[in-house]
Structure 1
Amino acid sequence: MATFTHIDSSSRPTMVDVSDKAVTKRTATAQTRVRFPAEVAEALRSQQFNTPKGPVFQTAIIAGTMAAKRTHDLIPFCHPLGIEKCTMAIEMDGDDAVVRCTVSVHHKTGVEMEALTGASVAALTIYDMCKALSHDILIAETRLVEKRGGKSDVG
């Protein structure tokens, strides 16, 4: 059975002590899917993904990058990290926008939460910029796609 790392011996919440861990390159990729109703996807395509609020995907990329860099301000026990790389990609898959965020750093702790936060906030930004077209837009399937470095690799 796995143990929770954010609980101390007295069952109080605590930040994980990474002081004895080795600095290694750590990379994580997360993905979120934004499901548009067909008519919304078509309207966005016909407008080259621009709305009166501005360029949807470009704005979402900026928001997601900003969020990844500020994850420690949002998630209580995340360590502040000097992120060395953050790439965002948004592609259409049918009527869905697929948001991918990859984050890398040389550090003692991983960047899964940074990648997940970046992908999530980019998806929220897409919703915000498109909600005038429909409130039936669905943000779904936020997940870790891959992580490398540290104790274990995933994906």
Structure 2
Amino acid sequence: MKDLMHRQQMIRSRRETPVDAPERRRLPQLLRRAWFNLNQAFRRRSLTAGITPDQFTVLRTLREQRRRGLSQRELAQKMTSDPNTIASLLRRMERSGLVARRPDPADRRAYRVVLTGLGRTRFARVRPLAAHLQSQVLAALTEERRERFLEDLERVAAACQQATRDGP
């Protein structure tokens, strides 16, 4: 009974406390902290392979496309990244031999970004590090909560994306 009363009081308290009050958890801060620390942990692990977290994300995204590749715009959309950032990243990766631009058979004016042999090799080398890090981080949750957490995070990401489309 006491536990139930405590929970009800907490629910009332949350309803009465503004979402931006200092004593409340803030979504942007939590997401940024999680992303920053995960990014730094991966950066330290992938340093020996000579690729950055963003480069790994490009390699993984292209790998998922098989040999078809992606346009630069499609890649930016799939990575939820700024097209200018992707353009700069791809130039560096192309100079390093990780990706190549091939003419798009459907549109002679366009190019598709594809993995090179070196890009596939680097991806294969770093993928186990990324998988291990994800397992290590998600081990903070029970197995049943992991799946729910990822589903909820997917919904939050979709809501954030929708908020970018909505007006003020």
Compute the TM-score of the two structures, normalised by the length of structure 1.
Answer: 0.30
- More relative contact order in 1 or in 2 (CA 8 Å, sep 6+)? 1
Bigger strand share: 1
Larger radius of gyration: 2
Compute the TM-score of the two structures, normalised by the length of structure 2.
Answer: 0.28
